[in-house]
Amino acid sequence: MSKNIAVIRGDGIGPEIVGEALKVLDKVAELYGHTFNYIDVDMGGCAIDKYGDPLPEGELKKCVESDSVLLGAVGGDKWNDVPGYMRPEKGLLRLRAGMGVYSNNRPAKIWKQLSDASPLKKSIVDECIDFIIVRELIGGIYFGEHKTEGDTAIDILKYSESEIERIGRIGFETAQKRNKKLCSVEKSNVLDSSRLWKKVMHKLKEDYPDVEFSDMLVDNCAMQIVKNPSQFDVIVTENMFGDILSDEASMITGSIGMIPSSSLGASSCGLYEPIHGSAPDIAGKDIANPIGTILSAAMMLRFSFDMAEEADAIEKAVSAYLDAGYRTSDIMSEGMTQVGCKKCGELIVSYLEK
Ligand code: NAD
């Protein structure tokens, strides 16, 4: 099979981690007889430096016309003082909206080899922690109007029934493919948009009688994720709550560097990226953990290219690498062998087999 992959290396550690994911994809192509064509796309701070725009139209077009997009991360202190509409993260929001990827899927799973790296008590980690946060990605407060008037700043949070319904259905369908439990998270005791969210979700649940449905307020959910994370199978929530909860969920698994994500809309062309940012504090030092990006590439194969066997092979190679005791510094523990970003990628490639 031949696929065109738009590759956004971005800023900070972006180029380092994406480089390792491409090595893994190249090995998959070799083992399974596929051709992956990489189309370089500039986005973020590097695009501001080059074009004065975090995502010029031509770069967005390359993404929309590709079979899928692999992204490292964007942003950094260098661009902190540029006006809001020009910030590197604006490129990311424009990319998500331009691709119409409204459903962001972020797994939170503790790898058995990394149970020591979780900050949670052993008794909690020993329960099976394996859930997914389905986050609405192109609506809500991040996409509402933002303005500052004198000493007052305003951000608008808005959701329509149809926006809630389409992500709600993804939540139910994701639960159907897993352990059939869905928890809808909102703040309906305070926000009108959340009361609408709850009303739509309750209407939808009639269509999915096989799914055990529950509601939870977002502040309680933040507590439950650290107190009793094994209660969750699938969480569905709006954009900002999902952003915050998924970072919290990633931390209980050991490191933000381990977690991949997929973002999909109506077509099979998806956006795949690790959930962390550009980590300027460790950029250029060859110490970043590339596994979140490598597993994002595996998700791309599984969800956009229908290559489940190839995706399984990548996940098995990551597991074999961890079994062999290799760790980047973010997940390093006693008795393990510390490796850098490049070495981590090379080792995972060496464990890849058909
Ligand atoms: P961050 O996720 O970049 O870093 C948080 C902490 O986690 C840092 O200590 C970092 O060193 C560590 N970390 C992150 N990824 C790691 C990895 N792969 N391996 C090892 N350690 C890792 O968050 P931040 O510091 O708040 O943000 C830095 C920049 O990234 C900001 O400009 C922010 O706006 C941007 N950002 C971009 C994205 C994106 O591109 N999707 C997402 C979040 C933040």
Chain segment 15-30, per-residue pLDDT in tens: 999 999 999 999 999 9
pLDDT at 55 over 80: yes
Q: How many CB atoms lie within 10 A of CB 223?
A: 11
Name the residue of 276, 339, 344 to mutate for ligand 1: max ligand atoms within 8 A of Cβ: 276
Cβ-contact 106, 259 below 8 angstroms: yes
Chain segment 276-290, per-residue pLDDT in tens: 999 999 999 999 999
Give the domain ranges of the chain.
Answer: 1-109+256-354, 119-253
CA of 275 to the centre of ligand 1 (A): 8
Collapse the DSSP code of 274 into the 3-class scheme (helix H, G, I; strand E, B; otherwise coil) and give the result.
coil
The C-alpha atoms of residue 273 and residue 69 are separated, in whole angstroms, by 8
CA of 114 to the centre of ligand 1 (A): 20
| φ/ψ (deg, to 5) at 342 | -60, -45
- Do the domains at 1-109+256-354 and 119-253 have one common CATH topology? yes
Q: Options 3.40.718.10, 3.20.20.70, 3.30.1330.40, 1.10.1200.10; which CATH number does 119-253 get?
A: 3.40.718.10
Q: For residue 295, which amino acid is it?
A: L
What secondary structure letter does DSSP report for 312?
H
pLDDT at 84 over 90: no
| Ligand 1 atom nearest 44 alpha carbon | 40
Split at pLDDT 50, 70, 90, the class of 81 is confident
Split at pLDDT 50, 70, 90, the class of 76 is very high
Protein residues with CB under 6 Å of any ligand 1 atom: 13, 17, 73-76, 89, 92, 256-257, 273, 276-282, 288-289, 292, 330
Cβ-contact 143, 239 below 8 angstroms: yes
Chain segment 156-186, per-residue pLDDT in tens: 999 999 999 999 999 999 999 889 999 999 9
Active-site option among 116, 126, 207, 219: 219
Length, in residues, of the chain = 354
pLDDT at 85 over 80: no
CATH architecture of the domain formed by 1-109+256-354: 3-Layer(aba) Sandwich (3.40)
pLDDT at 40 over 90: yes
Residue environment code for 253-288, b if the CB has 16+ CB neighbours within 10 A, otherwise e:
bbbbbbbbbbbbbeeebbbbbbbbbbbbebbeeebb
Active site residue 77: no
| pTM (global) more than 0.85 | yes
Active site residue 142: yes
Split at pLDDT 50, 70, 90, the class of 250 is confident
pLDDT at 195 over 80: yes
Split at pLDDT 50, 70, 90, the class of 126 is confident
| Ligand 1 atom nearest 76 alpha carbon | 32
Q: What is the pLDDT of residue 349?
A: 98
Active site residue 187: yes
